[in-house]
Every structure is written in structure tokens, then in C-alpha cells.
Amino acid sequence: MAWDHVNYVVEEGIAVVTINHPPVNALDQKTVAELGQVIDELEKKPEARKMAKKILTKGPVAIAIAKRAIHEGLEMTLKEGLKLEAKLFGELFETSDMREKVKAFLEKRTPHFEGR
């Protein structure tokens, strides 16, 4: 399907969605509708399900912290975002799940995360 302001490509299981609405890529009603259509189509990217399953094998605390970094970082400057990332990484490093990940790696086994 072709759209006026949005397009996407999927390469190696990664969808790259591009907004092309000059001069500032404004999110007007039409562009938002097209984004919705792209998302609907991508939800059909088996690749999206495959990626979601892979993400679910990671520690739930790490996933939550990554989502927090993304969500909060979108509203920050690069400098602020990097500072937040470092802070959250420090928090993650103190969790039981992180210790389990390191131990499992050294023992060459799959980690068993507890979410703490």
C-alpha cells in the first residue's frame, strides 16, 4: 500500500518507518492516520511477533528500564538523555536479574529471571 507522508522498509526483521511530510514532518490528521495504517500492516512483521518473543526472553527489569529510558528520553536533550541512561544502567546493575544474567553467562546457561 502506498501512503503520501509515511513509508517503511523491513530489513533483517527491523521495520524502519519514515515520516516524509516537509517542511517539519508535521503530524497532522492525515499523517497520523497513515502511521496507524502502517502499524496495522506491520502487526500482521511475523517478524514483530518474533522480535517480541525475543524481547520476552530478556529480564523483565531490564525491559522495563529500557522502556522507561525511551519514554522519558524522548522529552530530553541528548545530554539529558545520556545522563538518564547512565543513571538507569546503574540501577539495573544493582538488580538480582543482572547478577543472574552474569552468572548464567559465565556458566554458559540460560538465565532464569525473577523480575527483581
pTM for this predicted structure: 0.56
User: Would residue 116 count as lying in a domain?
Assistant: no
Model pLDDT for residues 51-69, shown as the tens digit of each residue: 788 888 888 999 999 999 9
Same domain as 89, residue 50: no
Same domain as 11, residue 25: yes
Q: What is the sign, positive or negative, of the torsion defined by CA atoms of 86, 64, 13, 105?
A: positive
Instruction: Give how far Cα 78 sits from Cα of 18, 66, 74, 86, 92, Å.
Output: 21, 16, 9, 12, 21
Instruction: Give how far Cα 40 sits from Cα of 13, 20, 51, Å.
Output: 16, 19, 16
Query: Looking at residue 77, which CATH number applies to its domain?
Result: 1.10.12.10
Model pLDDT for residues 7-38, shown as the tens digit of each residue: 888 887 788 888 887 777 778 888 889 999 99
Can you tell me the distance from the alpha carbon of 20 to that of 32, in angstroms, rounded to the nearest whole number? 12
Block residue for cell numbers 522480535: 51
Block residue for cell numbers 524522548: 74
Question: Could you list the residue range(s) of the whole structural domain that residue 23 is in?
Answer: 6-54
Provide the number of structural domains found in the chain. Answer: 2
